[in-house]
Amino acid sequence: MRTAGKSWWLGLFLTASCALAASVDLRNAVVVARVEAVPEVERTAVTVLVEEIEKRSGIRLPVASQAPSSKTTVSIASGVTVPGGRPEGYRIHIEQAGRTVVKIEGVDARGALYGVGHLLRLIDWGPNRLEVPAPLDVTSSPAYPIRGHQLGYRPTANSYDAWTQAQYEQYIRDLAIFGTNAIENIPSQDERQSSVMKTTRREMNRAMSLICRRYGMDYWIWLPVEFDLRGPAGKRRAAMLKWFEEYLRDTPELTGVFVPGGDPGNNPPELLLPYLAEMARLMRPVHPKARIWLSMQGFDKGKAEYVYQYLERESPDWLGGLVAGPSSPPVAGTRLRLPGKYKLRLYPDITHNKICQFQVPELDQAIALTLGREAVNPRPVEYARIHNWFAPYSDGFISYSDGAHDDVNKNLWSALAWDPSRPVRDVLADYARFHFGPEVAAGAVDGILALERNWHGPLAENGGVEGSLLQWRRLEAQAPKLDSNWRWQMLLLRANYDAHVRRRLIQDSALEKEANAVLGRAGEIGSERAMGEATRILDRVASEPVSADLRARIFELCERLYQSIGLQTSVGKYQASGAERGAVLDFVDLPLNNRWWLEDQFASIRQLPTEAEKVARLKTIACWEDPGPGGFYDSVGNFAKAPHLVNPAVDPIELEDDRIEPLFWWWDQGKSRARLSWQVTMWPRELVYEGLDANASYIVRSTGYGKALLRIDGERVLPTLDGQKMGEFAEFPVPAKCLKDRKLVLTWDIPNDEGHLNWRQRSRLSEVWLIKR
């Protein structure tokens, strides 16, 4: 039973056949470790095995340098020749001739540590229970040499900045158990000492380097050049190089320095590359093996071409390679142009959910408004596909992460970079077994997959959200001992929060519909009475709460997460660095209808001079989404209200222009009072209408910002009304010839003359009506 580099099937096989297979009882085993001339990482591997077993079973295995004659032993060694093994690889096998020996043999010291991690993921553990399945003989080596995560100790992180050195070490250990071999810190950006930090930036920078040394991890830093190299930046340049020189002397281990070309930073490569060479000159005497890495984030074709030609012409030895991150040139093209001596590292954003590199497909606006950009976000199926699509172009990855909320995603990427053939369910089973225990592992896997599906498609129509909550409630009742486990707490938070948002969305939508019906009768009952009754209807959200129990549970879990892992879910209560930085508690009561907008409209309407004007405006508001008989309405970025949108789910792998996926705008720190349909925009690929009246007259009406370059059945149509501010109408007549087949296809040309504008000032589309006249 041997494999080379493909051990994924083992856990699956053992799970399916555990009732039939034998097992080895390790409760009385002795760990046999070498004592002379042993690499530090091998000693760490022994410590990890003993301590992690004790945490889970209460059993502390003794360590000896010689194997006892009668007891079961677990031996750990590195520098062993493993057939087919590559660097960092290992073999785990059980010998049962006479006494039982579980052997962990690493090709190198790292291999010994990763072999220990594999064994820990296999063990069936519990109170006074410690068994490993047998027979067992597996050989495994990683597919990609770079497998890492950014754990920047800086104030903008939503949890890392609250950690102690011990918490950092435990987290790095946990990642190593799943195959991670690189950690990237952010040692200098934003020099603030946040109120939750327990140690200085300098102390933590040094501590992280030492932790990585103990675990054999590569230690990287992310170091942007945020000042303008083109201007009079002499003082800032000198200060930064002086800081860098001091940092190098203060850092025991350093593997790579990643300098983003943009986001942040906006220097042309003809100035940036010589600056990087100067950094390398300072680094060489202190860390001769370390290299500089550059990303081309935000580079246009001309800037990217300059970099490629520079590398071909100068071939600098100080450069380790290029990094492909958000807003970088296409990965395949970069790999093709990159000279063979350089590596290509991915920098995937696995931490954000919207306005990001890999936005959640078909994300409901209610989720985007409340859970936002940095909520707990297990996305195993999506990220498995994304990893396995881009990884073959690369030498591996170090992810972009800003907190512990993406923990599932981190472990998935590490596991797949070790072996891309592993099924997602197998990776999750390892994760759940190791962190939660064998008894609930299968149910937790189902629960994690369910949380990912909660975010796909119209939320109000997704009854599976309630099923996810029931699943996690059953698991919670089954495993009360996991009450203090922060990973468990995060998943429970998501299950409760998703259901809370869905229940509130359904209620808020119904209340707005009821209020609009009253506003539509303003001509009969008077404008003031209509607005008063509508307000009382909308206010029932407070007097008749539909989710008080879930809301209370959310507050409880957020408090526990702050205490257990420093997760900052509120700006005011838990010192989150910003509302968009995972502060989900601050949005738990956010209106999921247009209540705020209606309140502001009522205030404006009361200032109108005549009753007739007031009634007319109220009628417009009441019928805003009602296109009239024979008409249709789409809020193009809100999939729940866009029935005519073709192919609404934008595949992040195929995405060439992010303007064709929904853009969830972040106005007023997430508390915008604008109409909800204006807070999400998109250039749709197509809106298609069928079964129209061939003898009728139609107009297309739209709202958005800037230009709306409409085509009807491929033909450009000019507007008769050309509102270009948000909330103003643009109107286009439908040519009679287009109605002969009773079908219309609407498309929009994306303006190509706005490249000089900031993305926030570029044209966008929010709503479309097809109105029958």
Three-state secondary structure call for residue 719: coil
Lowest mean pLDDT among 313-322, 360-369, 639-648, 732-741: 639-648
Structure confidence by residue, pLDDT tens digits, 156-206: 999 999 999 999 999 999 999 999 999 999 999 777 888 999 999 999 999
Mean pLDDT, residues 656-676 taken together:
87
What is residue 657's predicted lDDT score, i.e. its pLDDT?
A: 56
Both tokens assigned to 4: 């080379």
Give the whole-angstrom CA distance, residue 104 versus residue 119: 8
Per-residue pLDDT tens digits for 42-93: 999 999 999 999 999 999 999 999 999 889 999 999 999 998 889 999 999 9
Q: Both tokens of residue 590?
A: 């956010």
Q: What is the CA radius of gyration of the chain?
A: 29
How open is the CA angle 409-324-238, to the nearest 5 degrees?
110
pLDDT band at 317 (very low <50, low <70, confident <90, very high): very high
H-helix segments, 91-231: 109-122, 165-177, 201-214
Q: Please tell me the distance from the alpha carbon of residue 76 to that of residue 108, in angstroms, as a whole number.
A: 11
Would the pLDDT of 262 be above 80?
yes
Task: Give the model confidence (pLDDT) of 737-748 as tens digits.
Answer: 999 999 999 999
Q: At what angle do helices 424-436 and 109-122 cross, to 10 degrees?
A: 80
Under DSSP, the state recorded for 734 is P
**∠ CA 451-454-459 to the nearest 5 degrees?**
160
Percent of the chain with pLDDT over 90: 90
Say how many Å lie between the first and final Cα of the chain, rounded.
74
pLDDT value for 476: 98
- Per-residue pLDDT of 221-241, as tens digits, reads 999 999 999 877 678 899 999
The pLDDT value recorded for residue 453 is 98
Confidence of residue 7 (pLDDT cuts 50, 70, 90): very low
Share of the chain above pLDDT 70, in %: 96
Looking at every residue in the chain, the average pLDDT score rounds to: 94
Quote the tokens at residue 62.
């003794």
Helix (H) or strand (E) holding 343: strand 343-346
Q: What number is the average pLDDT over the span 692-700?
A: 97
720: Cβ contacts below 8 Å, ≥ 6 apart: 699, 731, 732, 733
d(CA 42, CA 46): 7
Confirm if 299 and 261 have CB atoms less than 8 A apart.
Answer: yes
Residue 169: per-residue pLDDT: 98
- Write out the DSSP string of 598-654: HHHHHHHHTTSSSHHHHHHHHHHHHTTT---TT-EEEETT-GGG-TTBSS-SPPTTT
**pLDDT number for residue 764:** 95
Q: Given this model, what pLDDT does residue 653 score?
A: 67
pLDDT in tens, 22-34: 899 999 999 999 9
d(CA 593, CA 258): 44
21 pLDDT more than 70: no
Q: What is the mean pLDDT of residues 393-403?
A: 98
pLDDT for residue 5: 43
Output the pLDDT for position 651.
66
Residue 456 reports pLDDT greater than 70:
yes
pLDDT at 352 over 60: yes
Q: Which of 304, 290, 303 is nearest to 336 (CA)?
A: 304
Report helix, strand or coil for 745.
strand
More confident residue, 654 or 153: 153
Q: What's the whole-number mean pLDDT along residues 117-139? A: 95
- The structure tokens 């508001």 sit at 621
Confidence of residue 128 (pLDDT cuts 50, 70, 90): confident
Asked whether residue 140 carries a pLDDT value surpassing 90, the answer given is: yes
ω before 264 within 30° of 0 (cis)? yes
Q: How confident is the model at residue 20 (pLDDT cuts 50, 70, 90)?
A: very low
What's the pLDDT at 70? 87
> Is the model's pLDDT at 496 over the cut of 80?
yes
> What is the token pair recorded at 608?
């109108």
Scanning the structure block, which residue is given the tokens 């009072």? Answer: 673
Mean pLDDT within 358-377: 96
d(CA 123, CA 556): 33
- Locate 199 and state its tokens: 């140690």
Give me the phi and psi of 349, to 5 degrees please: -85, 100
Mean pLDDT of 408-437: 98
Residue 679: per-residue pLDDT: 97
The whole-number pLDDT of residue 609 equals: 98
For residue 211, give the DSSP letter: H
**Is pLDDT above 70 for 491?**
yes
Is 676's pLDDT higher than 50? yes
Q: Express each pLDDT in 459-485 by its tens digit.
A: 999 999 999 999 999 999 999 999 999
pLDDT digits (tens, 9 = 90+) for 592-615: 999 999 999 999 999 999 999 999
- For tokens 């029958």, the residue is 772
What are the CA-CA distances from residue 170 to residues 125, 213, 253, 732 (Å)? Answer: 19, 14, 19, 61
Work out the pLDDT band at 12, boundaries 50, 70, 90.
very low
Q: What would the pLDDT profile of 611-656 be if each residue is shown by its tens digit?
A: 999 999 999 999 999 999 999 999 999 999 999 998 765 566 665 5
pLDDT value, residue 655? 55
- 45-49: which pairs have CB atoms within 8 A and are 24 or more residues apart? 45/76, 45/78, 45/104, 45/106, 45/109, 45/112, 45/113, 45/115, 45/116, 46/76, 46/116, 48/113, 48/116, 48/117, 48/120, 48/173, 48/176, 48/177, 49/74, 49/76, 49/116, 49/119, 49/120
